[in-house]
Amino acid sequence: MDQRPILFFDSGVGGLSIVGPARAALPDAPFVYAADSAGFPYGTKSEAEIAARVPVLLGRLAERYRPRLIVIACNTASTIALAVVRAALDLPVVGTVPAIKPAAALSVTRTIGVLGTEATVRQAYVDDLAARFARDCTVVRYGSAALVEMAEAKLHGRAVAPERYVAVLDGLFSQTGGAAIDVIVNACTHFPLVEAELAAAAPGVRFVDGGPGIARRIVHLMQDETWSGAGEGIAVFTRLGDEERRLGPALTARGFGRIEQL
């Protein structure tokens, strides 16, 4: 029986927000989760650094784990490196893009926020999505490296003060027109991991992300595949130290009982 897995890739633990809906959709599929801990975080890096780093790492991961499909479970890496990775690898590669289309469909005030990393929110790709799917909306963007760190801290079991979430969201609400925002796109895969905290800091505002849509895309691409059972999931890090090992309980809870280093 073919045991080749689906491989999820992110700079850190954010891609676990994509793993959740994907595992619910394909409970018998084997998963590998790869985190570029040595390169974390991507949101503050230049486009050139990410474009050079991601295809090389995914080439090494593809060689080791022989996946049937790769999910770049990182908005920043997807908006910068997806085309290069697809050209380099002879297997399906799914990217993650900001969920601007569903946000626009939900918005009553016609004002939506895009909350991502600095590297993601400045991409022309976001301009294109806004022009295609939210032409009649005001789209307010804000990039936060701090929120990435806060999501990582949560999975490490470290407390984060609620006022820090309020401060991050103020980066959207304080901009011109920001007070009218009624839907926020979590345009970094880390951010759905702290959606409850964000929602508590912004009562009445709805949050959307790309996880459910990515899961549907994976199911579509894998519809002719057969699975013999998920087995023990593997989490692999480009740097495996004490900080990464402390993620053990969070990873085990999500089906990744084995930890390796690339």
Which residues are known catalytic residues?
74, 188
- What are the C-alpha distances in Å from 219 to residues 24, 74, 87, 89, 100? 11, 19, 22, 20, 22
Q: Could you tell me the two tokens for 158?
A: 């470290």
- Residues of 120-140 as b/e, b for ≥16 C-beta within 10 angstroms? bbebebbeebbeebbeebbbb
Contact indicator for 23, 8 with CB cutoff of 8 Å: no
For helices 145-155 and 162-173, the axis angle rounded to 10 degrees is 150
Contact indicator for 165, 201 with CB cutoff of 8 Å: yes
Could you identify the residue written with the tokens 């090494």? 60
Count CB-CB contacts under 10 A for residue 82. Answer: 20
Contact indicator for 114, 121 with CB cutoff of 8 Å: yes
Is residue 116 helix, strand or coil?
strand
Among 150, 136, 143, 247, residue whose Cα is nearest residue 190: 150
